[in-house]
Amino acid sequence: MKKIIFILIAGVFLSQPVLAVRVKDLVSIQGVRENALTGYGLVVGLNGTGDKASSMFTITSLANMLRNLGIAVNPTLLKPKNVAAVMITANLPPFARSGQQVDCTLSSIGDASALVGGTLISAPLYGPDGKVYGMAQGPISVGGYVFEGASGSGVSKNFPTVGRIPDGVTVERSLDLKIGPQITLLMNSPDFTTANRLARALNGAYGTSIAHAMDLSTVKVDIPQGASIVDFIARLESVDVIPDDRARVVVNERTGTVVMGDDVRIATVAVAHGSLSIKIGETPRVSQPLPLSQGATTVVPQSEISVEEGGRRLLMLQNGASIGSLVRALNAIGVTPRDLVIILQCIKKAGALYADLEVI
């Protein structure tokens, strides 16, 4: 009998106490985040895997680049088979300083077949405000390949039209952020109970009322006067808090995986599971004519039909049943991944599942 895979979020033994989590793993500080940078550039040095003549923007960009270098060319005569136009993306870390280096990703926007062996020509990267925050340049690292034959057939691995340049972006503009005299903590998983516990834990750690829970996702903290911001935030991030969250059941129908927390409860409910299996098979049989009858030999398919109806017993789950009872009951009736989703949805529809049900 095939059993469904169940994963208990809180651990195998439900009697174990809930472990505390650092504030650092529960929240992020408003304003202290990465900023997206975007740019456009040309990759050169490709072995005939670049853009075709139909990519006019690549030809125009190549002609403009050569013109800026003092080389006048006729764009109609350019064949950019060794050049590819790419979009460049990078994340500018918080408190970035001029001269710092970060990684960038390049993605082909033309009809190039691969960026293997290419080199990005210096290209500016812009922030949301339209200002240049970095310059990208360097050889591309591509975790794949593509080989094509003369007839058009070929073989490829991964995605050779996307590559990365480690430390390929040099920060040109420092990103200054001001923190204080108050910081705002943003909950990674918004919850009223966790926000309240967080504020209480911080007030208890500092012995004064410095934290105030504004809503389920925001906690404001006052920085003590004269305190070092770095020391204060480092101490704040190390405070332990016991988080809380809504009971949730997550079902993946394709793999038959169910993930649920130990706080999932069900009311009194009866579950009956039965299935009707119909099998239809065909066996080819040869029809041979009688001697001297001038008939023709034919193949006559003969169908075989069988019907089986599963007889599953009715299972009763008592009020307040734990996750263990639900696991044992569903496995006892031998549900398949597809049936499991229907059963859980029916239990939820009946109002007997005290948890959020998510099907992915």
Non-local CB neighbours of 24 within 8 Å, separated by 6+ positions? 237, 238
Q: What is the CA radius of gyration of the chain?
A: 32
pLDDT tens profile 99-112: 999 999 999 999 89
7 vs 42, which has greater pLDDT?
Answer: 42
Q: Is 25 helix (H, G, I), strand (E, B) or coil?
A: helix
Q: Are residues 84 and 61 in the same domain?
A: yes
State the pLDDT at residue 277. Answer: 47
- Of the candidates 153, 171, 189, which is a domain's last residue? 171
Question: Exposed (0-12), middle (13-18) or buried (19+): which is 128, by Cβ within 10 Å?
Answer: exposed
Q: Check whether residue 75 and residue 125 sit in a common domain.
A: yes
Query: DSSP alpha helices (H): ranges in the chain?
Result: 56-68, 192-206, 229-237, 323-332, 337-349
Per-residue pLDDT averaged across 259-271, rounded?
A: 75
- If asked whether residues 48 and 151 sit together in one domain, one would say yes
Mention every residue, 6+ apart, whose C-beta is less than 8 A from residue 132. Answer: 124, 125, 126, 172, 173
> In this structure, are 154 and 83 located in the same domain?
yes
214 and 146 in a single domain? The answer is no
328 within a domain of the structure (yes/no)? yes
The rounded Cα 36 to chain-centroid distance in angstroms is 18
> What number is the average pLDDT over the span 4-16?
44
- Determine the pLDDT at residue 163: 93
Q: pLDDT tens digit string along 159-209? A: 789 999 999 999 999 887 888 789 999 999 999 999 999 999 999 999 899
- Is residue 234 in a domain? yes
**Interior angle at CA 138, CA 136 and CA 141, nearest 5:** 110
Q: Check whether 11 has a pLDDT greater than 50.
A: no
**Same-domain check for residues 27 and 39:** no
Q: What percent of the chain has pLDDT over 90?
A: 40
pLDDT (tens digit, 9 = 90+) per residue, 36-59? 999 999 999 998 889 988 888 999
Within-domain flag for 70: yes
Share the mean pLDDT of the chain: 80
Whether residues 153 and 100 fall in one domain: yes
In this predicted model, what pLDDT tens digit does every residue of 328-354 receive, in sequence order? 666 666 666 677 777 778 878 888 888
Residue 147 confidence (pLDDT): 56
How many separate domains does the chain show?
3
Q: What is the pLDDT of residue 276?
A: 42
Percent of all residues in the chain with a pLDDT value above 70, rounded to a whole number: 72
pLDDT at residue 10, as a whole number: 40
What pLDDT sits at residue 273?
Answer: 62
**Same domain (yes/no): 100, 164:** yes
At residue 85 the predicted structure's pLDDT band, cuts being 50, 70 and 90, is very high
Looking at the fold, whether 164 and 182 belong to one and the same domain comes out as no
Question: pLDDT (tens digit, 9 = 90+) per residue, 66-75?
Answer: 999 898 888 8
Greater model confidence, 53 or 152: 53
pLDDT category at 278 given cuts 50, 70, 90 is very low
- Host domain of residue 317: 249-277+309-359
For residue 11, tell me if it sits in a domain: no
Give the pLDDT of residue 53: 84
CATH number at residue 234: 3.30.1360
Q: Is residue 297 part of a domain?
A: no
Residue after which a domain boundary falls, among 225, 241, 257: 241
Is the pLDDT assigned to residue 12 strictly greater than 60? no
Q: What is the pLDDT of residue 214?
A: 95
Q: Examine residue 286 and state whether it is found in any structural domain, yes or no.
A: no
287 inside domain: no
DSSP-derived secondary structure letter, 288: P
How deeply is 138 buried, as exposed, middle or buried, from its count of CB atoms within 10 A (0-12, 13-18, 19+)? middle
> Do residues 138 and 220 share a domain?
no
Let me know if residue 293 belongs to a domain: no
Q: Flag whether pLDDT at 141 surpasses 80.
A: yes
Confidence of residue 227 (pLDDT cuts 50, 70, 90): confident
Please write the tens of the pLDDT for every residue from 293-322. 666 766 665 545 454 545 555 556 566 566
> Which helix (H) or strand (E) covers residue 213, if one does?
strand 211-213
191 and 125 within one domain: no
**What pLDDT was estimated at residue 244?**
87
Domain boundary among 171, 191, 209: 171
Residue 2 pLDDT more than 60?
no
What pLDDT is stored for residue 307 in this prediction?
Answer: 45
Same domain for 268 and 334? yes
Q: Could you tell me which residue, 255 or 317, shows the higher pLDDT? A: 255
| 4-13, 53-62, 205-214: range with lowest mean pLDDT | 4-13
The reported pLDDT for the residue numbered 190 is 92
